[in-house]
Structure 1
């Protein structure tokens, strides 16, 4: 039995997943201020296929072959050639993260970036470790 993917359904789903609504969220209004959240969206996809086997690919030997009344007289069962195959697959992944928001109020439109405190703290820790390693290296080199 051969599987044939429904490519039109797959392409419709992919087309629906790419759009402005994936980057800009629904506007939120409160006290005369409109906030439009924005995100960075990464997407990727892939597909694979398959087919039949090459001529000469072998399967299990037929146990009825190789009987003593075999005219060839070899006595060993002969393997059969495999004649079927198939395959296929589609994969899709997405990652999104906030980057900020557009704020619309009486003063106009302004961009308010999203601040990732965890990233800032991690960057400070990495910088501290590198500075400590550099100082340690310099002190050890000076003692020689």
Structure 2
């Protein structure tokens, strides 16, 4: 990609999505140590291109002077809290995050699947009885 320091860009992307981003800073309160954990994922891409030469578009003698070139890149990163490790009295336990919105969406989707399958089953039974 012209004009872009690709190795530096890739290094910054690698720092953003490395494993240490999955664990938040540990903190202690009342003798309990909490280590927050998140699911981190991302993706990216880039490229460059140029427009085909178009002679006669401008008054320039050379078609190459009319060419347009460009390059670009980008990436996205998503972090989703999933729980925490709780260390208390020498014991470690996992406490998952309960996301009410996700639970409601999942429940509604499950209900919709069940209702649809029941409707299909009834339709098939009616068609068999009509024959």
Equivalent-residue separation in structure 2 for 1:135 and 1:87 (angstroms): 54
Gaps of 5+ in 2: none
- Report the secondary structure of 2:75's partner residue: strand
Q: Deviations over 1:7-63 (max 9, x none)?
A: 343233223213333100000210010100000011111111235755xx324254x
Gaps of 5+ in 1: 63-78
Residue matched to 1:75: none
Equivalent-residue separation in structure 2 for 1:8 and 1:130 (angstroms): 47
Equivalent-residue separation in structure 2 for 1:83 and 1:18 (angstroms): 40
Query: Which structure is higher in helix share?
Result: 2
Shift of 1:131: 2.6
Q: Report the RMSD for the aligned CA atoms in angstroms.
A: 2.6
Matched, 1:101 2:84: yes
Could you tell me the TM-score, scaled by structure 2's length? Answer: 0.75
Residue matched to 2:30: 31
- The number of residues matched between the two structures is 124
Residue matched to 1:9: 8
Q: Any runs of at least 4 consecutive aligned residues in structure 1 with deviations exceeding 6 A, and if so which?
A: none
- Report the secondary structure of 2:92's partner residue: strand
- Report the secondary structure of 2:43's partner residue: strand
- Structure with higher RCO (Cα < 8 A, 6+ apart): 1
Matches within 5 A, 1:61-140: 62=59, 80-84=61-65, 85=67, 86-140=69-123
Equivalent-residue separation in structure 2 for 1:83 and 1:21 (angstroms): 48
Equivalent-residue separation in structure 2 for 1:129 and 1:61 (angstroms): 60
Equivalent-residue separation in structure 2 for 1:53 and 1:102 (angstroms): 57
